[in-house]
Structure 1
Amino acid sequence: MNRESNTYTFIFAIGMVVIVAFLLAFAATSLKPKQSENVRKEKMQNILKSIGIDVEREAAEGKYKDYIKEELSLVADGSVDESSDAFDVDLNKELKLPVDEQHFPLYVADVEGEKYYIVPLRGAGLWNAIWGYVSLKDDLNTIVGVTFDHAGETPGLGAEITQPWFQAQFEGKKIFDESDELVGVRVSKSSGAKGENEVDAISGATITGNGVTAMIKERLSHYLPYFKKQKTQLALN
């Protein structure tokens, strides 16, 4: 075949496209197990970070087993669905289901004899999804720590929810008010000292801050039946 002909050029281009597509597909398939493993370890890393345990990703699994004593998959009435694996629950998919069909993962940790409850979060920021974890002391009211992440918030503005200075504000805050009503923690633009249920907002990131506020309260609201059972049990003991 004449290598200078249009037919040769066309066939050569098609061949290259097929070869490149095959190589890309092969690479994606080959790397998928490693990518999935990295995502799993990063999830453990973030769960641990919410209770103040900072570890490298490769060390996360070992530390996770040291501190996380229970993985519970709750349903709407606060009971545990033993047939569901809490760690594998995908909140992105769960949020698309009716509430009474959703599962609500909960992780129970033991840190030097202190019992902590870790709740996964997912909501909406300005441009895309935001998510994270909030950990509570065994009073199921006081926050131990939080972690937040995002899919596409603005650098220097909404993306600041990932920064230590913002997340540190949540430590010691309460999710219930003085009337024992769930209020979560409000990201507030008001000046002056902040109360037990609010933290300082990020300048120029009102919508992202409102998303964090709504996300915390909405997700925690589904755990109230379980929290009530635990508080009753604690009172009896």
Structure 2
Amino acid sequence: MAKSNDTFGKTLGVVVGLCLVCSLVVSGAAVALKPQQKLNKERDTQRYVLEAAGLLDKAAGKVPETFDKYIDARVIDFDSGEFNSALDARSFDAALAARDSKNSIKPSNDIASIGRRANSGVVYLVRDEAGGLDSVILPVHGYGLWSTMYAFLALEPDMNTVKALVYYDQGETPGLGAEVENPRWKAQWVGKQLFDDNGELAIRVVKGGADPADIHGVDGLSGATLTSNGVNNSLEYWLGDEGFAAFIDKVREGELNNG
């Protein structure tokens, strides 16, 4: 008499075999799709940089070409503010570097709750048609209410006047903190000044609303105080001594305009 196939051992064998096959399929798909995922991430970054630069409309579906024409991505050393020619901006991963204790620091005052800061970072020099410096874009991030919020801060060559603040990745509350991506709120940043006459950081999101005449103030997000605080904290950290301060000084002094 033939043995029944309906046994625990055979059933377990089928389940294990099926799991192994599925695992191989999923792993294979992940490996095969990784290059495309990397390319998609690069294209997304280029798109948001172009938006911050005010060049997205000019791209007209040709994001990589427009990016390569107008944007010069460079790696800088945070401590010196100098370009780090040993690192390629296209392949440099600041988040990965920040996880390496040899290539990062723990902030002395982690007001933005970033955990660690890589020793180097990417900046984007925006060139005009003649090759002159049109603006500079700085990546900034910090924790809000629920999430780490990532943005590109575009500055005029004076490194004081805001051209744009574009948040592109955040997990804040829809209709409240997520309004950091609202075009009407983003428009308030245009023309604001980062520093006061004494060179002190003065830009801030003002709870209850900013005076329209205040060149340093932007309206707070209604019902999203902690998200607004997160924006302030991000700017305070990344525009400070452990952030882009040394680089900002270099640009102001004219040392990197044509670097």
Normalization by structure 2: what TM-score? Answer: 0.81
Q: Would you say the 8 A contact 1:74–1:80 is kept in 2?
A: yes
Q: Could you say if the C-alpha distance between residues 19 and 95 of structure 1 is closer, same or farther in structure 2, counting changes exceeding 3 Å? A: closer
Confirm whether residue 66 of structure 1 aligns to residue 77 of structure 2: no
Q: Could you say if the C-alpha distance between residues 112 and 78 of structure 1 is closer, same or farther in structure 2, counting changes exceeding 3 Å? A: same
Task: Output the CA distance in 1 between the equivalents of 2:180 and 2:135.
Answer: 23
Match of 2:208 among 190, 197, 208: 190
Instruction: Describe the SS at the equivalent of 1:144.
Output: strand
Q: Which moved more, 1:219-228 or 1:139-148?
A: 219-228
Q: State the shift of 1:132 in Å.
A: 1.0
Equivalent position amino acid for 1:103 in 2:
S
Q: Residue 76 of structure 1 corresponds to which residue in structure 2?
A: 79
Task: Output the CA distance in 1 between the equivalents of 2:137 and 2:51.
Answer: 11
Q: Could you say if the C-alpha distance between residues 152 and 57 of structure 1 is closer, same or farther in structure 2, counting changes exceeding 3 Å? A: farther
Identical-residue share of aligned pairs (%): 27
Q: Residue 106 of structure 1 corresponds to which residue in structure 2?
A: 123
Q: Residue 39 of structure 1 corresponds to which residue in structure 2?
A: 41
Q: Would you say the 8 A contact 1:136–1:142 is kept in 2?
A: yes
Cα-to-partner distance string for 1:7-34 (whole Å, 9 max, x where unaligned): 2221111111111111111111111110
Q: State the shift of 1:3 in Å.
A: 2.3
Q: Could you say if the C-alpha distance between residues 84 and 124 of structure 1 is closer, same or farther in structure 2, counting changes exceeding 3 Å? A: same
Task: Output the CA distance in 2 between the equivalents of 1:199 and 1:15.
Answer: 59
Q: Would you say the 8 A contact 1:74–1:106 is kept in 2?
A: no
Equivalent position amino acid for 2:180 in 1:
I
Q: Could you say if the C-alpha distance between residues 217 and 27 of structure 1 is closer, same or farther in structure 2, counting changes exceeding 3 Å? A: same
Q: Would you say the 8 A contact 1:132–1:148 is kept in 2?
A: yes
Match of 2:142 among 105, 111, 123: 123
| Paired residues, number | 233
Instruction: Describe the SS at the equivalent of 1:43.
Output: helix
Match of 1:224 among 241, 245, 250: 245
Q: Would you say the 8 A contact 2:152–2:165 is kept in 1?
A: yes
- Please show how residues 101-180 of structure 1 align to structure 2 within 5 Å: 102-112=119-129, 115-180=134-199
Q: Would you say the 8 A contact 2:73–2:90 is kept in 1?
A: no
Q: State the shift of 1:196 in Å.
A: 1.1
Q: Would you say the 8 A contact 1:87–1:105 is kept in 2?
A: no
Q: Would you say the 8 A contact 1:77–1:226 is kept in 2?
A: yes
Q: Could you say if the C-alpha distance between residues 17 and 69 of structure 1 is closer, same or farther in structure 2, counting changes exceeding 3 Å? A: closer
Task: Output the CA distance in 1 between the equivalents of 2:210 and 2:21.
Answer: 63
Cα-to-partner distance string for 1:109-163 (whole Å, 9 max, x where unaligned): 1235561111011111111211110111111111111211334211121112122
Task: Output the CA distance in 2 between the equivalents of 1:214 and 1:164.
Answer: 21
Root-mean-square deviation (CA), in Å?
2.3
Q: Residue 12 of structure 1 corresponds to which residue in structure 2?
A: 14
Q: State the shift of 1:74 in Å.
A: 2.9
Q: 5+ residue gaps in structure 2?
A: 108-116
Q: State the shift of 1:202 in Å.
A: 1.3
